[in-house]
Structure 1
Amino acid sequence: MDSHQLQQIAALFKMLGEPSRLSLLKSLMEHEELTVNQIVAESGLSQANTSKHLKALAQADLVTSRKEGNFVLYRIQNPLVFQLCELCCQNLEQRDAALLQELKQRLEALP
């Protein structure tokens, strides 16, 4: 891997490192396409913040949009988003299961 590729990977993780952006991506993962107003309702973010984050995600080629009448519909463009989220969730579930097992063992070992 060269330094340019490493910079691209770092930029992707930086983009995904913002909880508000992850919230927007989660909404888009659960629905094929959403308008800004629908994303606002799903995420609980303000319209201004939603628009700002959607713009950043679009510039990173993670989401795309299309106009339909008076509405702009957003959807996930890069399927890598689904794979990364699935991998992270699986990792967290495994970690949590291991921690739970360890706590159970410690409780059982108590007098």
Structure 2
Amino acid sequence: MQSEKELFKLHAEFCKFMANPKRIEILFLLGTQELCVEEIASKMDVKIPNISQHLAVMREKGVVTVRREGTKMYYSLDNPKTLQACMIMRDAMVEQMEKQFDKIKSIRSEGFEK
């Protein structure tokens, strides 16, 4: 039981990197190709030091790997399943929002019928 509790704790710690929209955006960018910090910053229209901070968090969690080529650092996803998990969570979120929207629409239309 203790090892299961520890696994839940590790799981929560790992998922913390997704609590930031910029890191999720980086995750999606790196899902299609390896990019250097400058390329990521340019695509996101964000300053390089800010991107570097986010990449450091993602690297610490083992989400991204880095490769040096000359003076540039190239980042890629360590495991494509991380992006897949993020996409599944996004799908679940959208479905939940659609259900809530449908409920609101039905309540609203019931109000007009009276």
Question: Which TM-score bucket, shorter chain as reference?
Answer: 0.7 to 0.9
Q: Distance in 1 between matches of 2:94 and 2:101?
A: 10
> What residue identity is the alignment partner of 2:76?
R
Unaligned runs of 5+ in 2: none
> What residue identity is the alignment partner of 2:7?
Q
Is 1:19 matched up with 2:53? no
- TM-score, scaled relative to structure 1: 0.84
**1:46-73 deviation line (CA, Å, top 9, x unaligned):** 2111111111211211001112343221
- TM-score, scaled relative to structure 2: 0.82
Secondary structure, aligned partner of 2:100: helix
Q: Report deviation, 1:2.
A: 2.5
Report how many residues are paired.
110
Identical-residue share of aligned pairs (%) = 23
| 1:35-74 equivalent positions in 2, closer than 5 A | 35-74=36-75
Larger radius of gyration: 2
Q: Report deviation, 1:77.
A: 0.6
RMSD: 1.8
Q: Distance in 2 between matches of 1:34 and 1:71?
A: 10
Do the aligned partners of 1:57 and 1:63 also contact (CA within 8 Å) in 2? yes
Q: Distance in 2 between matches of 1:6 and 1:106?
A: 39
Q: Distance in 2 between matches of 1:38 and 1:69?
A: 15
Do the aligned partners of 1:27 and 1:43 also contact (CA within 8 Å) in 2? no
Secondary structure, aligned partner of 1:45: coil
Q: Distance in 2 between matches of 1:20 and 1:76?
A: 15
